[in-house]
Amino acid sequence: MSTSSPSRSAFCAAWLVAIAFLVAACGSDDGGDESATSAKPAGPAAVQAAKVQIASFKYVPETIRVKAGGSITWTNQDVAPHTATSDGGGAGRDGSVFNTDTLKTGRAKTVKVSEPGTYNYYCVFHRFMVGKVVVE
Ligand SMILES: [Cu+2]
**Same domain as 12, residue 79:** no
Amino acid identity of 18? A
**Same domain as 121, residue 76:** yes
**Same domain as 89, residue 120:** yes
**Same domain as 125, residue 60:** yes
pLDDT of 6 > 70? The answer is no
**Same domain as 51, residue 30:** no
Per-residue confidence (pLDDT) for residue 44, from 0 to 100 = 82
With beta carbons less than 8 A apart as the criterion, state whether 97 and 131 touch. no
Report, in angstroms and rounded to the nearest whole number, the Rg of the chain calculated over CA atoms.
26
Residue 70 pLDDT level (bands cut at 50, 70, 90)? very high
Give the containing element (helix H, strand E) for 129. Answer: none
How many domains does the structure of the chain reveal? 2
**Same domain as 99, residue 129:** yes
User: 106: domain CATH number?
Assistant: 2.60.40.420
Q: 132 CA distance to ligand 1 centroid (A)?
A: 15
pTM here is 0.69
Q: 3 CA distance to ligand 1 centroid (A)?
A: 77
**Same domain as 86, residue 24:** no
With beta carbons less than 8 A apart as the criterion, state whether 111 and 119 touch. no
The domain of 108 spans 47-135
Q: 127 CA distance to ligand 1 centroid (A)?
A: 7
Task: Give 92-96 contacts, CB < 8 A, sequence gap 24+.
Answer: none
Q: 136 CA distance to ligand 1 centroid (A)?
A: 26
Residue 91 pLDDT level (bands cut at 50, 70, 90)? confident
Q: 134 CA distance to ligand 1 centroid (A)?
A: 21
Give the containing element (helix H, strand E) for 76. Answer: strand 63-76
The percent of residues above 70 in pLDDT, for the chain, comes to 68
**Same domain as 105, residue 65:** yes
Q: 107 CA distance to ligand 1 centroid (A)?
A: 13
The dihedral of CA 129, 111, 116, 90: what is its sign?
Answer: negative
**Same domain as 100, residue 63:** yes
Which residues on neighbouring strands pair with residue 131, listed in sequence order? 121
